[in-house]
Structure 1
Amino acid sequence: MPSLASARYGKDNVRVYKVQKDAATGVQTVTEMTVCALLEGAIETSYTRADNSVVVATDSIKNTIYITAKENPVNPPELYASILGQHFIDRYAHITKAHVKVVVHRWTRMVVDGAPHPHSFFRDGQETRNVEVTATRGEGIVVKSGIVGLTVLKSTGSAFHGFVRDEFTTLAETWDRILSTDVDAGWTWSTFPTLDAVRDGVDRFDRAWEAARGITMKTFANDESASVQNTMYKMCEQILAAEPEIALTNYSLPNKHYFEIDLSWHKGLKNTGKDAEVYAPQGGPNGLIKCEVSR
């Protein structure tokens, strides 16, 4: 006899753009987000018996996302996502869990004639600030924060040698290589018992994001990397040290390869080892290295 093992539904890819206006100075600040909200609870009969009386329409979920953005701050995104998630379990008695994901797209204020422009911005990369919140009736609010798509590269200061060598190995050891990756970093906060606990000390979220971003770039740049594995572990250690309310941190780093090109066939041109200057950027396959570090 079949039974419904799990179910959730909601609205995805809801684009939200909010302008915050300072009437006194004329300065405006913009936030652009993509929001997903999925609900769980006593909804199984909508699947098994065609009973729509338990369904909060996904169009209503979309409207709630807009109204919540109008009536509440959208920064930091951890607070906005928590307010939205708590709304669903407070508003609908049969909904016991709300999952909210917020992706904040990067807009950077223009500097014109040496001064920050009051209302003009530019997109300086595909990096996003991501938040995932799960609000559960009687269990509190779980918040996960992160950085996705921060592309970094350094032209030296990375090595990889001493790895397992056997009959399957063709990779040469190297003491100096290009290191590049698209950073996907995350950190999970200790569970907040209530929405008020999220609000209390809300500055923690921006502070942690700025610290994690700074730690990532500084460690990437300065570490004499023996491997991606060791460098990412050092990053995780520092994020945990920077913010005591973070319970776990994680990285997922693809190793974006740049291969030397042997040009010796052309008039003995030297372009390998210490003479390498021209490289071939690779698509795939690529290495993928992940880790989670907890207290």
Structure 2
Amino acid sequence: MPELSAARYGKDNIRLYKVHRDEATKTHTVTEMTVCVLLEGEIQSSYTDADNSVIVATDSMKNTVYLLAKQNPVTPPELFASILASHFPAKYPHIHAAHVKVITHRWTRMTIDGKPHPHSFLRDGAETRNAEVVCRRGAGIIVRSGIQGLLVLKSTGSAFYGFVRDEYTSLDETWDRILSTEVDANWEWCPFGTLNDVKSNIPLFDKAWESARNITLGTFANDNSVSVQATMYKMANEILAAVPEVNRVDYSLPNKHYFEIDMEWHKGLKNTGKDAEVYAPQSSPSGLIKCTVSRTKTSKL
């Protein structure tokens, strides 16, 4: 007989915007998020027996997100995701775990006539700051933070040589190439026992995000890269060194290629090697390089 071996359901793509108005300075701060909530628990009968009595409606989940956003801070996203994830097992005895993902969209304050504008912002890139939280009854809170959609490029300082060569290989070795990628970086915190433990560590989340972003950009720019693999490993190690409360770091970096265009057919025009100036950006296919770097031992906060 077949059996239901796993079940999880919820509300995805909950769009949320919150404005904080500082009456003293007449300055506004805005936060825009996309939230996903998924629940697990004693919900098998809704699948196997058409029993809706165990279902917390996904519309109710959406309402909960908005109400808790009104009643609590939404920054840092790790805190808000933890508040949401902790709510559902506490509210519903038959719900044993909540999975919450918060994507924070980038709004940057405008500078007008050399001064920060009090209530105007611009979207200066597709980069998002992400937080994923799992709260499981009796097992504490797992928090993952991340950066996604950060597009970077450098026009030199990258090489690729010494790789396997066989009858399938057509790629030439290079000691100077364009390197571009879209950063997807995530770091997992040592487990938190309770929501209060998360709250007591609030300052760490922004600090870790700033460190991870600065390390990613600085290492990318300054490393004389022999491969994406070697560079991303350095990034991950530096984040672990900078944030002792993090127990592992993941990177996923697509290699966005820029190919030289041979123009010698046109009057001997040189545009390869040291003479290359015009390139053809490639949308696909692309290399995809991933790694996870973990501490040898982890400890609870």
Q: Do the structures match in fold with TM over 0.5? A: yes
Paired amino acid for 1:281: P
Alpha-carbon distance in 2 for matches of 1:36, 1:140: 20
Alpha-carbon distance in 2 for matches of 1:66, 1:201: 24
Alpha-carbon distance in 2 for matches of 1:278, 1:71: 54
Alpha-carbon distance in 2 for matches of 1:179, 1:273: 15
Instruction: State the partner residue of 2:298.
Output: none
Structure 1 consecutive aligned stretches of length 4 or more whose deviation exceeds 2 Å? none
Residue 269 (structure 1) aligned with residue 246 (structure 2) = no
User: 1:2 deviation in Å?
Assistant: 1.3
Instruction: State the partner residue of 2:55.
Output: 55
Paired amino acid for 1:170: S
Instruction: State the partner residue of 1:81.
Output: 81
- For 1:232-284, what per-residue CA distance to the aligned partner results, in whole angstroms no more than 9, with x for missing partners? 00000000001111000010000000000010111110100000000000011
Paired amino acid for 1:145: S
Instruction: State the partner residue of 1:278.
Output: 278
Paired amino acid for 1:13: N
Paired amino acid for 1:88: F
Paired amino acid for 1:165: R
User: 1:19 deviation in Å?
Assistant: 0.1
Alpha-carbon distance in 2 for matches of 1:60, 1:273: 60
Paired amino acid for 2:267: K
Instruction: State the partner residue of 2:249.
Output: 249
Give unpaired runs (5+ residues) of structure 2: 296-301
Alpha-carbon distance in 1 for matches of 2:124, 2:70: 26
User: 1:217 deviation in Å?
Assistant: 0.4
Alpha-carbon distance in 2 for matches of 1:133, 1:280: 41
- SS of the equivalent of 1:170 reads coil
Paired amino acid for 1:67: L
Name the count of aligned residue pairs. 295
User: 1:201 deviation in Å?
Assistant: 2.1
Alpha-carbon distance in 2 for matches of 1:252, 1:217: 15
Instruction: State the partner residue of 1:160.
Output: 160
Paired amino acid for 1:95: I
User: 1:77 deviation in Å?
Assistant: 0.3
Paired amino acid for 2:236: C
TM-score by structure 1 length?
1.00
Alpha-carbon distance in 2 for matches of 1:288, 1:85: 32
Residue 19 (structure 1) aligned with residue 19 (structure 2) = yes
Instruction: State the partner residue of 2:130.
Output: 130
Alpha-carbon distance in 2 for matches of 1:150, 1:39: 30
Instruction: State the partner residue of 1:93.
Output: 93
- SS of the equivalent of 2:162 reads coil
Residue 233 (structure 1) aligned with residue 236 (structure 2) = no
Alpha-carbon distance in 1 for matches of 2:259, 2:77: 39
Alpha-carbon distance in 2 for matches of 1:173, 1:52: 61
Paired amino acid for 2:25: T
The percent of aligned pairs where both chains have the same amino acid is 70
Instruction: State the partner residue of 2:222.
Output: 222
- For 1:81-104, what per-residue CA distance to the aligned partner results, in whole angstroms no more than 9, with x for missing partners? 000110001000000000000000
Paired amino acid for 2:21: K
Instruction: State the partner residue of 1:41.
Output: 41
- For 1:153-185, what per-residue CA distance to the aligned partner results, in whole angstroms no more than 9, with x for missing partners? 000000000000000000000000000000000
Alpha-carbon distance in 2 for matches of 1:280, 1:9: 44
Alpha-carbon distance in 1 for matches of 2:161, 2:123: 38
Alpha-carbon distance in 2 for matches of 1:210, 1:70: 26
- SS of the equivalent of 1:236 reads helix
Instruction: State the partner residue of 1:180.
Output: 180
Instruction: State the partner residue of 1:105.
Output: 105
Alpha-carbon distance in 2 for matches of 1:22, 1:285: 48
Instruction: State the partner residue of 1:6.
Output: 6
TM-score by structure 2 length?
0.98
- For 1:210-234, what per-residue CA distance to the aligned partner results, in whole angstroms no more than 9, with x for missing partners? 0000000000000000000000000
Paired amino acid for 1:182: E
Alpha-carbon distance in 2 for matches of 1:45, 1:119: 50
Paired amino acid for 2:40: E
